[in-house]
Amino acid sequence: MTEAPAPGADVSGDSYLPAHGNGGYRVRHYDLDLEYRLVANRLAGTARVTAVASHALSRFSLDLAGFKVNRVLVDGRPAKYTRARHKLHIRPERRIEAGAGFVTEIRYAGNPRPLGSPHWGDVGWDELTDGALVASQPIGAPTWFPCNDHPADKASYRLALTTSSAYTVRATGTLVSRSRAASTTTWVYERAEPTASYLMSVQIGRYTDLALSERQLVAAPARLVPAARADFARQPEMERVFERWFGPYPFGEYTVVVTDDELDDPIEAQGMAVFGANHVDGRRTHERLVAHELAHQWFGNSLTVADWRHIWLNEGFATYAEWLWSETSGGPAAAEHARRWRRTLAAKPDDLRLADPGVARMFDERVYKAGALTLHALRGELGDEAFTALLHDWTGRYRHATVTTEAFTTLAARHAGRPLDGFFAAWLQSTNPPAS
């Protein structure tokens, strides 16, 4: 008798993006060995995915967009496989029992390109004028490696990438080795902390390193180093300010990459952020974005949403961090930012619910600003001491884990010492939040 597939084997159960991610297992570790040829834009790789079955599996799926798959092994045995859109469907030779660990090895090659989307433009691996970058949020990870592409399935990583020695490779994680052979160099990074697939990143370019502190590094084209030195000079102090509000910085490093190309917006990754040349001018014009991306290391990267409908927990917190930095560094107080954005949002349609904005509005400006307004109102409701204690508890309790709106509101009520149902109903569930 043929085994039935695990329930939801090809879907994640995410309320917004169920086709991205897969059921039946949880990934524990990715081991990626990649080779990239820049002129040809050709990526060849071997991915070893270590996972644990949550159901008995006669088949399972990984997300992989494009590429020719040359071989699939499950626990060292050849497995049958088929492709359908961005899915790699795998049927192992032997059934995998519930609770069993297993290793899937995929050899693949092709020309990586970003995935188009009707809501967010192109995401994933993308060519630069002279190099490459990865901008994966929310569904771009399968454009460069096979994965379970859902934010709740966080895993550790080892990433080895070989490319021309003329280029620097910056990737998420700690650089553990670099070895040169003929005209190529292999860079090996390890990411020990559990990491969502969309937060893994590779940046390839002709970069010069600029150390800001023991753990902060800026990699920028040589021509932009003087401007980057000025624009990111206050980032170490910014980290200290955020540690007072949010608790200890959650990773061992923070690397900012400045590309030689322009980007619409900076890009977040785990322990990393990527800025375009247009975000660097030597006058700190875009310092609020510096604060925003740094804050994502706590909110989005260490604490990762369990489902995309909770996106305000990433963007609202990072936006409020901009306001906290402003009032600490001599700019307008958070209260002034709040007054200005209340007026701005009041002129916009009342058709977005912060706790469930909808897939097309995940990155709507109102999610960012209304999320920050909610936190500022909560700060007023609790007072600074209790609000800070709440944030420290929030980031410590769920460090390197996944979070939901319900978990946050429950913890906030505990720190308030009273129910906050009415407060959160007004701010998170209403399409017309309070005016003050």
Task: Please state, in angstroms and rounded to a whole number, the distance separating the CA atoms of residues 233 and 195.
Answer: 28
CB atoms near residue 176 (< 10 Å): 11
User: Are the beta carbons of 260 and 276 closer than 8 angstroms?
Assistant: no
- Is there a binding annotation on residue 253? no
For Cα atoms 234, 379, 288, give the angle at the middle one, nearest 5 degrees. Answer: 25
Give me 375's structure tokens: 């936190």
- Is there a binding annotation on residue 336? no
User: Are the beta carbons of 104 and 347 closer than 8 angstroms?
Assistant: no
CB atoms near residue 275 (< 10 Å): 25
Catalytic residue positions, numbered: 293, 368
* Cβ partners under 8 Å of residue 380, min gap 6: none
Contacts 24+ apart (CB under 8 A), 183-187: 184/35, 186/160, 186/161, 186/162, 187/160, 187/161, 187/162, 187/163
- Nearest one of 204, 213, 235, 208 to 224, comparing CA atoms: 208
Task: Please state, in angstroms and rounded to a whole number, the distance separating the CA atoms of residues 250 and 243.
Answer: 10
- Is there a binding annotation on residue 400? no
Q: What are the backbone angles phi and psi of residue 224, rounded to the nearest 5°?
A: -100, 0
Question: Which positions make up the binding site for Zn(2+)?
Answer: 292, 296, 315
